[in-house]
Amino acid sequence: MLPFRHILFPVDYSPRCRAAADAVAKMADHFGASITLLHCYQVPVVVYGEFMPISMPAPGDWQAIAEKTIARFAQEAFPGRKVTTIVEANDPAAAIRKTADRVGADLVMIPASGHGPVRRFLLGSVTAKVLHDVGRPVWTSHDVMNGPPYKSIVCAVSSGGESADVIRASALIAKAFDAKLTVMHAVDARSAVLETEYGPYRKMLMDAAENHLRGILRDQGLDVPVSVWDGDVANCLKDEAEKRDADLIITGRGHAQGLLGSLWSHLNSIVRVSHCPVLSL
């Protein structure tokens, strides 16, 4: 996975997409990575006038128009840089997944939808599908101007089997940026003990989680702060990131546990409430 060598940047020409281009360029510069731009378009249905169809470009012309548009965007957003451009008449989320596989991209960078009060309710259907379906690291952020280099990274892990891999990858990324790394876990013990009286189990569960994390760190030869919280995963992670003045959050997506990965169920909420970019592995 590291270092990142090929970044896939899906583009829709929106202001947020244009703003995110700077973060993409900085990430590519830091790792010496190539960049592929992908735009998906849909050929409009024929609109009929009073007596006959209104004149519209032929399907082949839509492809040509899309290719010219993405070429112009590449020149404007990445001046003086050689980038690969791809356009497809396809569903964006499906095209992102297939293109990432086809070109061998090892990182997808895509801004999240929603900002201000709206961001608490809107992630964006394309971004949500990409986070769910793409089996490679995905960088996403509401604050698209908050790009690398990163100086403080919080790695959030679940109690699942992929925790060691996520911590190892986070340590490599932190080293690449010469950033401080913190490893955290939220127990959310009240849901874990169901209807059992919560109080007596709180310290036991939190101590067990901390010992588990410290064991992983010890096995990997890492000496970094460990933080264990009790409560909702997304909000605990938000508070930890703000406490550490983090400019990047790294978390797993539960691929090792399939759809039952515990962090996957919280990932949309993590992205929505985070003040900084989220890199999910």
Q: What is the pLDDT of residue 36?
A: 98
Q: 183: part of which helix (H) or strand (E)? A: strand 180-186
Q: What interhelical angle do 15-31 and 59-77 show, nearest 10?
A: 60
Residues 33 and 95 in one domain: yes
pLDDT at 273: 87
Q: Could you tell me the CATH number of the domain that includes residue 262?
A: 3.40.50.620
Indicate whether 12 and 130 sit together in one domain. Answer: yes
Kindly state the helix (H) or strand (E) to which residue 7 belongs, with its residue range.
Answer: strand 6-10
Q: What is the pLDDT of residues 225-280, one digit of tens each?
A: 999 998 888 999 999 999 999 999 999 886 544 443 455 567 888 888 899 999 99
Q: Is 222 exposed, middle or buried (0-12, 13-18, 19+ CB in 10 A)?
A: middle
Q: What is this structure's pTM?
A: 0.86
Confidence (pLDDT) at 137: 94
Low-confidence ranges of the chain (pLDDT < 50): 114-123, 193, 256-261
Pick the last residue of a domain from 103, 118, 143. 143
Same domain as 68, residue 5: yes
Range of the domain at 92: 1-143
CA 182 to CA 168: how far, in whole Å?
A: 12
Q: What is the pLDDT of residue 60?
A: 60
